Chain A
């Protein structure tokens, strides 16, 4: 447990919750990142402006942190082919399951949605199993 960053986790989490609330109050939309990306590319046209702006905000935050506090954005410890396989699975899984850590884990759980509760427990469990298996191999 020596890696636990308690206060920055609580602080960052609160900002994530505030951001999701702002998007809901202003646009009436759920801050689910996989859905925002997926529906920007594959959804109905005419609904894309706010999605594009939200994603631009995420990218700008990444750029700002990379310039000002580069240690906060680290590469994955896994090799690029494994990261590619991971991306593919995340793309397929979030599309099939209608959401990811933000849409189900934060927004859906906050609404006490039964679908999000099932999804979140499922992906946390398979994620833990995967990390355990990878360490054994």
Chain B
């Protein structure tokens, strides 16, 4: 089989397994997630054990394959290398946490619940896509656009010459 087909099949299987894990651990029940965040109330520590277990497995797997030069069905690993802590990271994580606590959904369980057709999940993922789109649009409009800047510079020079 072609590598691209194997890669797609592995991604499909990984997504399904991820979704089964989320549903089996109760993370597709928003009141359970809210129960974990409710430390000052009737605290449900379940999510902590989901995280610890997931990290224990993935930490081990990551250590085992860290020396590999390439993954099985792709040419390179796409692992984030940034290490700097900036305002965007902290502010973004803070806003995400507020949304997480308000609805009881994070993106993974939101998409899994969308598969069940729950009205809340449809509204949640729809609004999430809007939020992502707006942020990316604003983010790219804040970045200087070399092409436009070049035109403006030429304009300025022309005006100066005239």
- How many chain A residues touch the partner (CB < 8 A)? 110
Contact A54–B99 (Cβ < 8 Å): no
Residues of A near any B CB (own CB < 8 A): 1-6, 8-31, 33-34, 37-38, 41-42, 49-51, 53-66, 69-70, 72-78, 80, 82-98, 100-102, 104-111, 113-115, 118-120, 122-132, 134-135
Contacts A26-B14, A102-B108, A123-B97 given; does A12 touch B23 at CB 8 Å: yes
Which one of B7, B14, B93 contacts A119 once the chains associate, using CB atoms below 8 Å? B93
Assess whether B135 is in contact with A21, with CB atoms less than 8 Å apart. no
Which residues of chain A have C-beta atoms less than 8 A from B134's C-beta?
Answer: 91-92
Give chain B's interface secondary structure class.
Answer: helix
Q: Given B25, B116, B126, which contacts A73 in the complex, CB threshold below 8 Å?
A: B116
Which residue of A51, A63, A76, A92 is within 8 Å of B105 (Cβ)?
Answer: A76
Contact sample, A vs B, 10 pairs, CB 8 Å cutoff: A9-B49, A10-B52, A19-B18, A61-B19, A73-B116, A75-B119, A87-B127, A106-B54, A109-B51, A110-B59
Which A residues lie within 8 Å of B162 (CB)? none
In contact, B11 and A91 (Cβ under 8 angstroms): no
Given A19-B15, A38-B136, are A62 and B97 also a contact pair (CB < 8 Å)? no
Q: Interface residue count for B (Cβ, 8 Å)? A: 117
Give the complex CA separation of A23 and B65 in angstroms.
12
B145 at the interface (CB under 8 A from A): no
Distance in Å: Cβ of B52 to nearest Cβ of chain A: 7
Q: How far is the CB of B111 from chain A (nearest CB, A)?
A: 5
Assess whether A63 is in contact with B99, with CB atoms less than 8 Å apart.
no
Choose from A66, A94, A115 the contact partner of B115 (Cβ within 8 Å).
A66
Are A130 and B117 within 8 A (Cβ)?
Answer: no
Given contacts A9-B25, A58-B18, contact A87 B49 (CB under 8 A): no
- Given contacts A26-B14, A66-B117, list 8 more A-B pairs with CB under 8 A: A5-B46, A23-B14, A38-B136, A60-B19, A69-B23, A98-B80, A118-B90, A130-B102
Q: Which of B88-108 contact A (CB under 8 A)?
A: 88-108
